[in-house]
Structure 1
Amino acid sequence: MGEGFYISKVVALTGLVIAAAALATIIALSVVYSQERSKNQQVLPTTSGPNTTSTPSTTPSGPKEPWDYYRLPGNLSPVYYNNTLWPRLQPNADGLYIFTGHSRVVFRCVNKTDLILIHSNRLNFTKFEGFHAILKGLDGATAPTMKETRLVEPTQFLVIQLNEPLQQGSMYELYTEFVGELSDDLGGFYRSEYDEDGVKKVVATTQMQPTDARKAFPCFDEPAMKAVFHMTLIHPQGTVALSNSMNYEPVSITVDGESLIQTSFEPTEIMSTYLLAFVVCEFTYIGSNPDAEVLIRIWARRKAIEEGQGDYALEKTGPILAFFENYYNSSYPLRKSDQIALPDFAAGAMENWGLITYRETALLYNPGVSSNGDKEWVATVISHELAHMWFGNLVTMRWWNDLWLNEGFATYVSYLGADYAEPEWNMKELIVLNEIIGVMSVDASAYSHPLSSKEEEILRPDQINQLFDSITYSKGSAVLRMLSEFITEAVFSKGLHTYLEEFQYSTTGYKDLWKHLQMAVDKADIQLPHSVEDIMNRWILQMGFPVVTINTRTGKITQEHFLLDPESVVDRPSEFNYEWFVPLTWIKKGGSEQQFWFLSKEVTNPDLVVGDADWLVANINMKGFYRVNYDEANWERLIAKLSSNDVDMDISVINRAQIIDDAFNLAKAKIINTTLALRTTTFLNKEFEYMPWETARRNLNYFFLMFDRTEVYGPMKAYIRKQVTPLFHHFEALTLNWTKIPENHTDQYNQVNAISLACSAGVEGCKELTSGWFKEWMNNPAVNNINVNLKSTVYCNAIAAGGEKEWDFAWKMYMNATIATEAEKLMYALSCTKEPWLLNRYIQLCLDPEKIRKQDVAFTLVYIARNAIGHPLVWDFLRGNWDYLLNEYGRGSISLSRILNGLTERFSTQFEYKQVGIQ
């Protein structure tokens, strides 16, 4: 898709001539980049977040009935449910997997009404005397007779109109019987399949968040509608049933001559419908001491447990749980913590209270096969989900517009929990790389959205689904980390304790959190320029963040809304006029960290002035969610300092990464020139730390995306080759000629960068190294001696350098893989081939769930699209199969968002923008 990128022969030839000189190459690249970017401004949104200015009406036009709205009217409040469900793990005569069930929901009438609205989606109800339900009065109340019952599909309601009103304060019971499909759509009550010793096994499992509990049974399916759940599952002999709470002793029953098991569970705590979970499977588990105060069990496929893949999760769950009990100063409120790894699962994991569900790759770890990154992923995901047990489950956001309160918080503290479990990993530093740097690029779009939206803007299920994005998770964690930094972690933790204590088993909004943090700030006598609420509202109620420009000659500082495309129009109003209260931190040459509250658009602070031989770095360790620009002289002094031999003694590894990332993004926004940004990478031939290299790799990848189909690609490779060669040889020596694994956690990551970048840039010996390792495996498939951390890059490079033979071998290994992390690496590597026909074959395999699991289709298509050869193939596939994908995943789904975002990464021209005409 190279249309629109015209590179003159003069520029191309000039670039080739000067390729050997790194600095000259930088200048040539920056000139071309600037020319092309000015011609082809990025016009696509970089986030899938809701854009309410273009959102269609959420209700039909004309007169509206209560069931035409998506929100419950609030006249009824559930007290408890008593649900019995029977999933069939074999298809019926029509080839369908179904479940049957009956439900009793007891509710209180809050306001007198003659209408019952209860959510229901894709359920077929038994009719009793022509009605979909039976209504009964409790505690002496008389139930009104029914006038009419019907299902309203657009708003997903079972509507029950009564002849007389329900009485305020009275209790009633609604009984229903229903049939649903145990489909493979990964939502509600669904089925997951796997092969064990050549036999297909079926798991009945759930994913209720955000609005799919209504697909399992009729319910008041909103977060604030908390209730107690009594669950009973009927299931085949040889299977086990799990739910949120401990089970009673299962009993054998016979139904229509079939011998079955009936498992009932203790009543849950008061909780939201989206946290309900139940599973029927043939899994087994490993667990903690049964006499422990909290029973911890790791459930998975029998073979996975027997191979020890659940051992690491069991080892770390207890310490992380104990960490959060101490951090919140609040005991874990349940008797057990079950965690289960599912073969098919759309999200990474789900924080169901007492029964956390995971993708296999997020819970299972095999030391002989899984990489260092896989291990970190398991630790951080477990930590994220356990953090939710209090923040999200015990205390829940009132409505989905404050989803960031749940997910941003859990993302932030997941790094604290993982750091406690693995203190050698420096997880508190890695949050900058894993969460903050990436989301800043998303939030710098005119199409971004605030962390907290207005309730009336988030109504439909598809609007709710759109909130599960990087703004909610990563920016949410970034601003909470910033808050914790300026009030201190200890005070932050104390505020959380009183917040959880006051609102346990209830729901809240962000203002309640600000109130309790302010109480903790006041008690600690911390002086802030404004209240916690006034400071933080500017970060959560308006999208984006500022770029702070510091003139180190005059001390003048300014702030403005940072946009990657400065010509884009921001049509989302802000009551704060895109002005922030910024906790500005900095250090000077030879000095210590200082802080200053920057509270206006412009101010002068003489403390920021430095001498001609000095330098200044701001936003220390990226504690604040903002970018920093300097006067040209300070940029030059920083570049000189980075290139010196003692840089790591004065400028932290995080700030070295930050300088690169700020510079590249400022260049994209035309605030500084591209030459300056590229020059911030010249020190990398002396740099061996992971964070600066990874930040540079990501930013340079943007240039590769824009230019890997043009004549500038050659000079780019030459420059990268010059910079990465010392890193390649550093790890060659550190690992004794690639025979051992680096001890340091981030060194293991950077070894991957060294080989990956060296092979792509053509460093001598790299491709021979990776292809040789791969051939050794091909010659003896039963023995794979490739370093577990290097597998992804070795597989990818070997397949890229090879042909059909290598691809077919990798495909066979993928199909035979019994460990999810190994399958995931092969799934990625298969996308690296340079053969278009093999890529097309791979794309077509995405239509067969027996070959590519439904949960993996979006990732597979994005991997292929990142291959320059595969990109147009995926684009054609997407357009040709849009109706199929829309039907399979649903409009606004996470999977479709992943595909579209990944596919449009290379798009930058008006022509390409016009092609995105999918409706």
Structure 2
Amino acid sequence: MTASTHLYEYFQPTNYQLYIDVNRANKTITGKTTVTGNATQTRIALHQKYLTIDQVKVADQPVNFEVDDDAELFWIDLPEAGTTSVTVDYSAKLTDTMMGIYPSYYTVNGEKKQLIGTQFETTSARQAFPGVDEPEAKATFDLAIKYDEVPGETTISNMPEVKVEDGVHYFDTTVKMSTYLVAFAFGDMQSKQTETKSGVKIGVFATKAHPAKSLDFALDIAKRSIEFYEDFYQTPYPLPHSWQLALPDFSAGAMENWGLVTYREAALLVDPDNTSLDVKEYVATVIAHELAHQWFGDLVTMKWWDDLWLNESFANMMEYVATDALQPDWKIWDLYQVAEVPLALQRDATDGVQSVHVEVEDPAEIDSIFDGAIVYAKGSRMLVMARALVGDEALRKGLRQYFIDHQYNNARGKDLWDALGQASGLNVSEIMNTWLEQPGYPVVEASVVAGQLTLTQQQFFVGEGKDLGRIWQIPLNANYAAAPKIFKEQKVVVGDYEQLRAENGVPFRVNVGNDSHFIVKYSPELLSDIMETVTEQDDRTKLQLLQDFRLLAEAGQMSYADIVTVLPRFKAEESAMVVDALYTLIANLRKFVVPESAEEDALKAYTKALSSAQFERLGLLPKETDTVDDQSVRVKIADAALYGRNEKALGAAKELFEAHEADLAKLPADVRLLVLSNQMENAGNQQLFDKLVNFYRNAADASYKAALRMSLTKANDEDLLQQLVDLFKDPDTIKPQDLRSLFAGVLSNHHGEQLAWDWFRNNWDWLVQTVGGDMSFTSYVTYISRIFRTRARLNEFKEFFEPKINMPGLTREIVMDTKVIENRVQLVEREKDAVNKTIAAANQQ
């Protein structure tokens, strides 16, 4: 038996009796765990991490044990195999790593307080109690919590509290579930509660630093989400309650603990009087995502972490399915097209990217597979494809059978495909495995060869890539019936092009709807046919063209300079997703100019010209005539207009700031960040910096804090930016959970790039110690790779990270991000002259 062996093979728990005593004053934990289960041999092991094991007993008799800290476990010698109860007495320190059991800090009326919560995914339950900390090791849990309680404090967990005796809070026995889903919290909380039509209690909990009304939005979304899922899945929610808890310190966005979902405050609490549409959409989709997990992930759980996508990809798709049902006026699938799709396409085009299904064993490597672009975004696209293939009726029928077959147990990817295949009559597994098991995706080239409309597929790479001849089964979604429904060869001849064009009467297109995970390269003849009527095309088509143009240009299969001449055709578009794609492309042009150069001045003039008419139409403030699209478009247009030095936009932003200077929280939330950033960039001084920092320290509303935080990074004064960098290690000002975005903000400011990069390298050891156990730690590397664009920075990146390439959890990210920077450097060197000449020429027209 080796350290990498799954402990479940040797001991299968059935029940845990957990007693945990937390002393907040001394920051210690003492506990007693009795785990009952079946031992298949006399030498077994339980997981532990940072625990001090004091004693192990079997049948009330002490037994020998041997701790292996490197393997995060301890060995136990049993008197005999079979049904066994092992009791472990232990202690541990309460840490500030946001993993295991940990304190969150907040302030109410100037008094600093703590809220104790938990975060056990992926392998941090072993920091709270000993056990078999693997997804397959499902058991029931009887939890008892004791702590240095103050009257009026609240204690919550996965199940209802059944009694309190001698200061110990006892909770009802859980259903059978995985260790990483156990959760509890206690402290001075407020809550609001309601009940679903089926009788499930719904509650939202938060600290008293927030107004009670900030809980209302989440309560409504959570209630309606549970009701929607019960209907969609045709499977009742299996627990008595669904609590949603906002934690002041939380490294991820949210966590689907069964019955007690935990969130960042920014992902749950909403100011009903002044919150932007995008924040409401974000909060609603996060709640819908986590509550989708209550069935898909909690009721049925992946057998091992290599099938993490079973949890996350599905929940990522369902958050949009549910939110669309709850708020159809938001057109949330448009957000999917600009938030998830480009993220997946960009990451998945780099050679060496992980597949959705990826082998993983080492606990230190498990966190590294939580690649949002692949496991979440690409995985959800995979399921969107599957949904389109089988239809909603078969999807719901298949899911219902899947839950019946695997509830309270574990499943693999094949089990889901089999269920959907049986419900639809299609060989779903054969189609989807080409996407699940293979990294990357294809570019489908459509061309006319000797008069014949011809399609080919080949793996698409941004930058260099080794073509291994991979073939995908592609749901083609062509608008000509003659094209195959599933394109599974390297090449197919559709038919005589002129005849097909005459019969169909419209330009030939594939991936109609943009729901399949590939991009399209049309030959000049076919692309010209599409572009002649591009303004008459539907919004999804325009979006897709712009997204594919950008990727083809990144890969050198199309010229960025040619794209510059095409973009003005889209400047009058009013669809939020088309405008987003347009200005994403324009923002990508910034990598070809040196900041504060004549070339950047030309790019600003080009941006101003494209956005001026739209800014004139929308302005900075909401109008009664606004559509949902207008609310999102206004922010994109205003951002472009401010970058382009549009005098009206600059004046409006300054005027709005001055009108709200006494209380910046009352700035309209949709444009608050833009207004604050504009002021800091154009009028930033010590007085304004100190004012924003002070407001930030004292603000409770998470979206307001985010606007203050990011606006500080826009300063043009290096002395001010140095002061901000000096606050990076001050947890009373900047919580570790917020450091990543602040670091990235300063790094992306050319006045602060060197300051942030120097700080990062000089404080690497502190970062590893402070947030190194966080599953999002690798995002620091990712952020750097998104910003660096010169050969000098590439060399510095390599010099710093190559010695760290074998650090557990970092290997894949360092290799991938080195390629990302290399690709960008080569692209800039290859195209910058042509791009800048074309921009200059466009400004003369």
Same fold at TM > 0.5: yes
Structure 2 distance, partners of 1:324, 1:877, is 46
> Displacement, 1:838?
1.2
Structure 2 distance, partners of 1:124, 1:742, is 64
Secondary structure of 2:458 counterpart:
strand
Compared with structure 1, are the counterparts of its residues 835 and 515 closer, same or farther at alpha carbon in structure 2 (3 Å cutoff)? Answer: same
5 Å matches for 1:591-630? 596-606=485-495, 611=501, 615-630=507-522
Q: Partner residue of 1:697?
A: 583
Compared with structure 1, are the counterparts of its residues 291 and 585 closer, same or farther at alpha carbon in structure 2 (3 Å cutoff)? Answer: closer
Of residues 612, 617, 623, the one that matches 1:740 is 623
Structure 2 distance, partners of 1:546, 1:290, is 45
Q: Partner residue of 1:730?
A: 617
Of residues 428, 434, 439, the one that matches 1:543 is 439
CA contact (8 A) 2:162 2:172 kept: yes
Matched, 1:907 2:788: yes
Structure 2 distance, partners of 1:465, 1:693, is 33
Matched, 1:639 2:531: yes
Q: Partner residue of 2:164?
A: 250
Structure 2 distance, partners of 1:595, 1:473, is 28
Of residues 277, 284, 287, the one that matches 2:193 is 287
Compared with structure 1, are the counterparts of its residues 711 and 699 closer, same or farther at alpha carbon in structure 2 (3 Å cutoff)? Answer: same
2:430 partner amino acid: D
CA contact (8 A) 2:501 2:508 kept: no
| 1:717-776 per-position Cα deviation (integer Å, ceiling 9, x unaligned) | 2211111111111213xxxx7363664323211100111110001112111211221122
CA contact (8 A) 2:574 2:629 kept: no
Compared with structure 1, are the counterparts of its residues 451 and 595 closer, same or farther at alpha carbon in structure 2 (3 Å cutoff)? Answer: same
Matched, 1:173 2:56: no
Structure 2 distance, partners of 1:633, 1:870, is 46
Matched, 1:873 2:755: yes
Structure 2 distance, partners of 1:153, 1:900, is 28
Q: Partner residue of 2:603?
A: 716
Q: Partner residue of 1:568?
A: 465
Q: Partner residue of 1:753?
A: 636
Q: Partner residue of 1:885?
A: 767
Compared with structure 1, are the counterparts of its residues 325 and 594 closer, same or farther at alpha carbon in structure 2 (3 Å cutoff)? Answer: farther
Structure 1 distance, partners of 2:622, 2:405, is 56
> Displacement, 1:908?
3.7
> Displacement, 1:463?
3.5
Which moves more between the two structures, 366-375 or 324-333?
A: 366-375
CA contact (8 A) 1:286 1:305 kept: no
1:345 partner amino acid: F
Structure 1: stretches of 5+ with no match in the other structure: 1-65, 127-131, 138-142, 254-260, 523-527
Q: Partner residue of 2:455?
A: 557
Matched, 1:771 2:699: no
Structure 1 distance, partners of 2:715, 2:215, is 33
Matched, 1:105 2:2: no
Q: Partner residue of 2:418?
A: 515
> Displacement, 1:234?
1.0
Structure 1 distance, partners of 2:476, 2:488, is 10
CA contact (8 A) 1:859 1:898 kept: no
Secondary structure of 1:415 counterpart:
helix
Which moves more between the two structures, 203-212 or 807-816?
A: 807-816
Q: Partner residue of 2:142?
A: 230
Q: Partner residue of 2:255?
A: 350
Structure 1 distance, partners of 2:452, 2:568, is 28
Q: Partner residue of 1:842?
A: 724
5 Å matches for 1:440-451? 440-451=345-356
Compared with structure 1, are the counterparts of its residues 875 and 484 closer, same or farther at alpha carbon in structure 2 (3 Å cutoff)? Answer: same
Structure 1 distance, partners of 2:91, 2:567, is 61
1:103 partner amino acid: T
The TM-score normalised by the length of structure 1 is 0.83
CA contact (8 A) 2:94 2:102 kept: yes
Q: Which structure would you say has the larger RCO, counting Cα contacts within 8 Å and 6 or more residues apart? A: 1
Q: Partner residue of 2:558?
A: 672
Matched, 1:789 2:694: no
Structure 1 distance, partners of 2:705, 2:790, is 36
> Displacement, 1:484?
0.5
Structure 2 distance, partners of 1:414, 1:196, is 33
Q: Partner residue of 1:14?
A: none
> Displacement, 1:153?
1.1
Structure 2 distance, partners of 1:388, 1:376, is 18
Of residues 896, 907, 914, the one that matches 2:777 is 896
> Displacement, 1:844?
1.6
CA contact (8 A) 2:482 2:495 kept: no
Q: Partner residue of 2:834?
A: none
Q: Partner residue of 1:81?
A: 16
Matched, 1:125 2:53: yes
Structure 2 distance, partners of 1:332, 1:723, is 50
| 1:430-487 per-position Cα deviation (integer Å, ceiling 9, x unaligned) | 2121211221000000021100023xx4333334443343200111101100110111
| 1:793-833 per-position Cα deviation (integer Å, ceiling 9, x unaligned) | 11111111112232222222211212111111111111111
1:878 partner amino acid: F
CA contact (8 A) 1:87 1:204 kept: no
Secondary structure of 2:476 counterpart:
strand
Secondary structure of 2:15 counterpart:
strand
Structure 2: stretches of 5+ with no match in the other structure: 805-845
Compared with structure 1, are the counterparts of its residues 447 and 680 closer, same or farther at alpha carbon in structure 2 (3 Å cutoff)? Answer: farther
2:602 partner amino acid: P
Structure 2 distance, partners of 1:229, 1:346, is 25
Structure 2 distance, partners of 1:622, 1:863, is 31
2:7 partner amino acid: L
1:249 partner amino acid: K
> Displacement, 1:868?
2.0
CA contact (8 A) 1:858 1:895 kept: no
| 1:815-871 per-position Cα deviation (integer Å, ceiling 9, x unaligned) | 121211111111111111111111121112110111101111111101211212222
CA contact (8 A) 2:122 2:366 kept: no
Structure 2 distance, partners of 1:890, 1:400, is 20
> Displacement, 1:356?
0.4
5 Å matches for 1:642-653? 642=534, 644=535, 647=536, 651-653=537-539
| 1:507-546 per-position Cα deviation (integer Å, ceiling 9, x unaligned) | 0100111111110012xxxxx5xx2111100001000110
> Displacement, 1:291?
10
Q: Partner residue of 1:533?
A: 429
Matched, 1:361 2:266: yes
Q: Partner residue of 1:271?
A: 177
Q: Partner residue of 1:60?
A: none
Matched, 1:422 2:327: yes
CA contact (8 A) 2:289 2:318 kept: yes
> Displacement, 1:284?
1.4
CA contact (8 A) 1:119 1:214 kept: yes
Structure 2 distance, partners of 1:532, 1:885, is 44
CA contact (8 A) 1:862 1:898 kept: no
Q: Percent identity?
A: 27
Compared with structure 1, are the counterparts of its residues 349 and 263 closer, same or farther at alpha carbon in structure 2 (3 Å cutoff)? Answer: same
Structure 2 distance, partners of 1:692, 1:436, is 13
Structure 2 distance, partners of 1:281, 1:439, is 39
Structure 2 distance, partners of 1:629, 1:707, is 27
Matched, 1:663 2:549: yes
1:621 partner amino acid: G
Compared with structure 1, are the counterparts of its residues 305 and 340 closer, same or farther at alpha carbon in structure 2 (3 Å cutoff)? Answer: farther
> Displacement, 1:218?
0.4
CA contact (8 A) 1:298 1:310 kept: yes
CA contact (8 A) 1:586 1:594 kept: yes
